Amino acid sequence: MPTHSLDRPQATQTLPTHRPPPPELVSRLAARFGDRFTTGESDRLQHGRDESHYAPQPPDAVVYVADTEEVAWVVSLCAEYATPLIAYGVGSSVEGHLLAVQGGICLDLSRMDKIVAVRVDDMTATVQAGVTRMALNAELSATGMFFSVDPGANASIGGMIATAASGTNTVRYGTMRDNIVSLTVVTASGQVIRTARRARKSSAGYNLTQLFCGSEGTLGIITEATVKLHPQPEYVAAAVVNFSDLGGAVRSVIQAVQAGVLLARAELIDALSIQAINAHSKTQLPAAPTLFLEFCGSRAMVDEQSSFVQDITAQNGGSGFRWATLQEERSRLWTPRHHAYFAALQLKPGCRSFTTDACVPLSNLDACFAETLADIETLGLPVPIVGHVGDGNFHCLVLVDPGNPDEVARAEAFSSRLAERAVRFDGTSTGEHGVGLHKMKYLRQEHGEETLGIMRAIKHALDPANILNPGKVVSF
């Protein structure tokens, strides 16, 4: 399987027909955008890949837009010529969301990076879709507020909404779905709509804000968002604790959450991931299953709850507690967690990762985890594990040589077993990565044909010509 070619590779499913843009459309885009429009090979290749295991599938052209009006113009033009259009943020997604499986135009939103308004009294901020989470938090640093959703990568706000992202802070502050107030969206016909006002709740009509959240650019192009902000906590303490086995770490978090402990973060990293982090970041962490925890609130509350959790972890085989309260110390403790994905890739040079994303009810997490570990034992491939276990979510990074069909087949089979296992435990095949290309085949088992039919009907209603990121989420 090629990894750096503009040839369209074979994928794991039958792909739709390539729909190249007509010459007239290309001419009109070039005339409107000048050097912000390109058909150059390097730009196309960059925009035809993400962090998934798929080989690149580049678009036919890329256009860099600066505001909602330009997005609406491009969408109207693509609608006129029935040409596919794929929205692009920073390219950090992992399920093939950005691949141009039918060709067409890539709409790069990265230059839509203006923070429109910060309203501290309302605890909201309005941003263009290309603003990254780190840029927003840098802007908020002097206000006493912060934006909570942290998927690890410095993703764009628009991309995080499109995939309904979450991450390390979810157990305390919720997912992207819980942290959006209103969206500005360009529909498949080029109309500009606003899904809600700025009030923090509403009973007026259908919840279009949530409809577009998680739609992965298949129902409309998100160009602007009003998101919720949270006050910086009075006091924060971070802790790292090691375990002799993964089961003890998982049970510790389950018991803490069920006991009502207000964990701000609860992240699990297995021993193989720790080994990778040590090699990648030149750290000397104990090569053992490890929990990364964070507590926030008043000093008295943090002290009480952290002491309680320390007792729980000790009962489950935890040891070697390391604490940090200063910002620099906490960052030093947490940095290895954020490096886990790219560190894991270095375990097998030249590999790609089948990054799974199972999420189950907390009461089923221990059993699902145990079955998954037994499955990994027979796989014969390196599988680092990381997890937001505070909300029942974990990821297995199956490392494969993309040029080895046997390894790819084994990884795909494992990924399928894990998705089916998660659904059997009344969970989901994707807690935060989204569907993209890779998870489409699991939706019928997870939701049933009737529910899937409604999703398909929504797609037909909002994008009847199937120009918005075609071939993703649901089949047309």
Average pLDDT over residues 334-359: 89
Cα–chain-centroid distance for residue 55?
19
pLDDT tens-digit series, residues 222-279: 999 999 999 999 999 999 999 999 999 999 999 999 999 989 999 999 999 999 999 9
Predicted confidence (pLDDT) per residue in 19-76, tens digit: 889 999 999 999 999 999 999 999 999 999 998 888 899 999 999 999 999 999 999 9
190-201: pLDDT as tens digits: 999 999 999 989
> Per-residue pLDDT tens for 131-159?
999 999 999 999 999 999 999 889 999 99
Domain map (residue ranges) of the chain: 115-231, 233-436
- Kindly report the number of other CB atoms within 10 A of residue 264's CB atom: 21
Percent of all residues in the chain with a pLDDT value above 90, rounded to a whole number: 85
212, 219 in Cβ contact below 8 A? yes
Distance CA 444, CA 263 (A): 34
Tell me, what's the pLDDT at 16? 60
User: What fold characterizes domain 233-436?
Assistant: Vanillyl-alcohol Oxidase; Chain A, domain 3 (3.40.462)
Burial class (CB in 10 A: 0-12, 13-18, 19+), 300: exposed
pLDDT at residue 5, as a whole number: 34
How far apart, in whole angstroms, are the C-alpha atoms of residue 175 and residue 388?
Answer: 12
The band of 336, judged by pLDDT with boundaries at 50, 70 and 90, is: confident
CA–CA separation, 178 vs 180, rounded Å? Answer: 6
Joined tokens for residue 26:
């290309």
Residue 332 is predicted with a pLDDT of 81
Least confidently predicted of 335-344, 397-406, 437-446: 335-344
Closest CA to 127 of 149, 87, 156, 152: 156
pLDDT value, residue 11: 41
| Tens digits of residue pLDDT in 431-469 | 999 999 989 999 999 999 999 999 999 999 999 999 999
What is the spatial distance between Cα 440 and Cα 420, in angstroms, rounded to a whole number?
A: 13
Taking phi first (over 0 means left), then psi (-120 to 50 degrees means alpha), and beta for anything else, what does residue 78 get? alpha
Q: Are 326 and 372 a contacting pair, CB within 8 Å?
A: no
Q: What is the pLDDT of residues 4-34, one digit of tens each?
A: 333 333 344 445 678 889 999 999 999 999 9
**Does domain 115-231 fall into CATH 3.30.465.10?**
yes
Average pLDDT, the chain: 93
Query: How far apart are the C-alpha atoms of 219 and 33, rounded to whole Å?
Result: 25
CB 362 within 8 A of CB 251: no
Identify whether the C-beta of residue 431 lies closer than 8 Å to the C-beta of residue 360: no
Burial of 426 (0-12, 13-18, 19+ CB in 10 A): exposed
What pTM did the predictor assign? 0.92
Per-position DSSP letters for 328-390, written without gaps between them: HHHHHHHHHHHTHHHHHHTTSTT-EEEE--EE--HHHHHHHHHHHHHHHHTT-S---EEEEGG
Per-residue confidence (pLDDT) for residue 7, from 0 to 100: 34
The pLDDT assigned to 30 comes to 98
Mean pLDDT of all residues in 469-475 = 95
> Which residue(s) pair with 319 in the sheet?
242
Q: Do residues 385 and 353 touch, judged by C-beta distance below 8 A?
A: no
Tokens of 472: 């993703």
